[in-house]
Structure 1
């Protein structure tokens, strides 16, 4: 959609906090759609890259959000989100009245509810808006956003949401619901990656042609989106991090904590989490999550493509 057709006056201003692989693409998508976008990242090189691509980079968090109608936080977890809001340079004290804070981090729903209450007590809006789709879709403005919050929060965030996402689900009028939906997604994603890595390494142990295994499985009932997306990393022997092992150490840990509080059994999550923990403990925590295949290979003696190739840390 074009903002100019809807907003003949000043274009909405968005601040993006966190210009990593996801946040950079989200900022670029908003800029492409006509928003005025200011970016901030704790790493100066990330902010410089955004400025080089035509964006405006801020030197501090508060500078980034001072004039923003929408503040999109694309950090890793609840602790970082809380620091962005209420830390030493926290944005909650600098945002203008009526602005909306859009939280994209994956977190426990209870924490999302607490942060929402704190933000809204200051005369601001809070949208619980975890994301799915990966860096490529972020760059195209084709994310899926699982949103929950007040109608006012959705209305304030709408220009940014429409620019960043192909699908925006409005899942409820209270923060925490979006976070809960995201945790269901992460439960499945984490288990499916583990299953895909287990399967392709088992195929290697059997001496099968892995390229042919990929071709057959992706045309068969055993296929999954994660098998189709992650196994090519294994076939290429390239574990450059697109989504790191540590993400699922965190996310499946949250799922397990949520389930324990509800006295709900999650045995598949528990098994998958142990594999991510083992991979992290083996030094692969910052590598791509398809590195679970490397762990299975180490445990079994299976031979995978490019086994001696180190992941690109650049």
Structure 2
């Protein structure tokens, strides 16, 4: 199947990887990627919530972190949504409820522990249960108590 599709794959992906002869490895690699992405988004939300709770200016906090060792691609990409108070979904909270659930299901089959994924999954479940499931995945920050989130120019926000 790979050999037959090999010539068209570059048209649908910037990079194409052959992950072995066994069917399904690509799906598992995608699950691993989403595992990391979900944890990074949850960690970014938690860090921003802590900074907000401690009185840091959100824009300054973002600038410091993006120029420091704690930065990640997800922090740099998702926190601007929080700063703008714009939770228009580019990738929804419920996507990570599903994707982290898939990672946990995959690991459970071989009794492999994923404590960080389990915690991040619970954070996204909490956000979904609170009515934020169809909002941008950065809306996971809304689960943290005692913080005031930046609001959009449209009068939206927390």
| Class of the TM-score when normalised by the shorter of the 2 chains | over 0.9
| TM-score, normalised relative to structure 2 | 0.93
Tell me the CA shift for residue 154 of structure 1.
Answer: 2.2
CA distance in 2, matches of 1:258, 1:165: 25
Residues 107-156 of structure 1 deviation map (CA, whole Å, 9 limit, x = unaligned): xxxxxxxxxxxxxxxxxxxxxxxxxxxxxxxxxxxxxxxxxxxxxx2232
Aligned residue number for residue 232 of structure 1 = 80
Unaligned runs of 5+ in 2: none
Tell me the CA shift for residue 167 of structure 1.
Answer: 0.7
Residue 139 (structure 2) pairs with residue 294 (structure 1)? no
CA distance in 1, matches of 2:27, 2:71: 27
C-alpha contact 2:42 2:123 (8 A) present in aligned 1 = yes
| TM-score, normalised relative to structure 1 | 0.48
CA distance in 1, matches of 2:35, 2:127: 18
Aligned residue number for residue 95 of structure 2 = 247
CA distance in 2, matches of 1:160, 1:303: 48
CA distance in 1, matches of 2:51, 2:22: 46
Higher relative contact order (CA 8 A, sep 6+): 2
Say which structure is richer in helix.
Answer: 2
Unaligned runs of 5+ in 1: 1-152
Moved over 3 A (4+): none
Residues 260-291 of structure 1 deviation map (CA, whole Å, 9 limit, x = unaligned): 12111111111111111111101111110000
CA distance in 2, matches of 1:310, 1:232: 13
Tell me the CA shift for residue 310 of structure 1.
Answer: 6.3
CA distance in 2, matches of 1:219, 1:310: 26
Pairing 1:110-189 to 2, within 5 Å after superposition: 153-189=1-37
Aligned residue number for residue 148 of structure 2 = 303
Residue 40 (structure 2) pairs with residue 192 (structure 1)? yes
Corresponding pairs, count: 156
Higher mean C-alpha deviation, range 154-163 or range 256-265: 154-163
Say which structure is richer in strand.
Answer: 1
